[in-house]
């Protein structure tokens, strides 16, 4: 059992909380208030960032001391939204939210994953008709191994996981968000994931 804090209580955070609790972990979900987040992070071993990406850097930067020595799993995408509310551009072109978080939180191990799919796939990957891919980016092998364990608990098979390398590789995974509005406009909110066919 791992003590997990999930920052963000929307659809993504709620879905992850339900699935990880079902898998036997002790999960605390914090809302966006600083006090709630600080309390949740302080007692956790692994923290999941499921807050809206545009405000994540500022929000998590305020938790620098609480996040010291923790693994931070970043599943968010930092985007500039278009008039329809769907992602239109990247907030950190030439970089990524994960890289920005790692720079702001040098004593925290940031691992990027689960950001290249509709949120329903995060906790039900086998529901897709084809094999999905969960990408991982991060500088610390042990942190990525711990995150692999969580992905397994969410129903991901090891062969469905692709380690892209260091945290700088997160910019490639985050850029995949630019596919999303076009996919949604063409086929609606049908569950999908960006995947590597081999």
Per-residue pLDDT band at 192 (split at 50, 70, 90): very high
The per-residue pLDDT for 35 is 80
Q: Tell whether 35 is covered by a domain.
A: yes
- Cβ atoms within 10 Å of 188's Cβ, excluding its own: 7
Number of domains in the chain: 1
Q: Which neighbouring-strand residues pair with 74?
A: 49, 112
Q: Tell whether 197 is covered by a domain.
A: no
Q: Tell whether 72 is covered by a domain.
A: yes
Q: What confidence tens digit (pLDDT) does each residue in 88-102 have?
A: 999 999 999 999 999
Q: What confidence tens digit (pLDDT) does each residue in 121-158 have?
A: 999 999 999 999 999 999 999 999 999 999 999 999 99
Q: What confidence tens digit (pLDDT) does each residue in 44-81 have?
A: 999 999 999 999 999 999 999 999 999 999 999 999 99
Q: Tell whether 193 is covered by a domain.
A: no
Q: Tell whether 98 is covered by a domain.
A: yes
Q: Tell whether 101 is covered by a domain.
A: yes
Spatial contact of 191 and 129, defined as CB atoms under 8 Å apart: no
Q: What confidence tens digit (pLDDT) does each residue in 99-127 have?
A: 999 999 999 999 999 999 999 999 999 99
Over residues 181-194, the mean pLDDT reads: 90
Q: How far apart are CA 87 and CA 180, in angstroms?
A: 8
CATH of the domain at 116: 3.40.50.720
| Phi, psi for residue 56 in degrees, rounded to 5 | -65, -40
Domain containing residue 60 = 3-187
Q: Tell whether 130 is covered by a domain.
A: yes
How big is the CA angle at 53 (ends 32 and 7), to the nearest 5 degrees?
A: 35
Q: Tell whether 124 is covered by a domain.
A: yes
């Amino acid at each position: 059992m791992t003590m997990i804090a999930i920052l963000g209580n929307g659809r993504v955070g709620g879905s992850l909380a339900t699935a990880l609790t079902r898998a036997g972990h002790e999960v605390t979900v914090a809302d966006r208030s600083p006090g709630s987040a600080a309390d949740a992070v302080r007692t956790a071993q692994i923290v999941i960032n499921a807050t809206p990406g545009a405000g994540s850097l500022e929000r998590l930067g305020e938790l620098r001391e609480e996040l010291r020595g923790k693994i931070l799993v970043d599943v968010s995408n930092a985007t500039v939204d278009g008039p329809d509310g769907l992602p239109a551009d990247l907030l950190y072109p030439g970089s990524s939210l994960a890289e920005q978080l790692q720079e702001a939180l040098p004593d925290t191990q940031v691992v990027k994953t689960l950001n290249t799919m509709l949120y329903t796939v995060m906790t039900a990957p086998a529901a897709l008709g084809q094999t999905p891919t969960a990408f991982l980016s991060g500088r610390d092998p042990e942190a990525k191994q711990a995150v692999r364990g969580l992905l397994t608990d969410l129903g991901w098979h090891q062969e469905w996981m692709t380690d892209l390398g260091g945290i700088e590789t997160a910019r490639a995974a985050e850029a995949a968000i630019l596919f999303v509005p076009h996919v949604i406009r063409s086929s609606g909110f049908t569950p999908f994931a960006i995947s590597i066919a081999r």
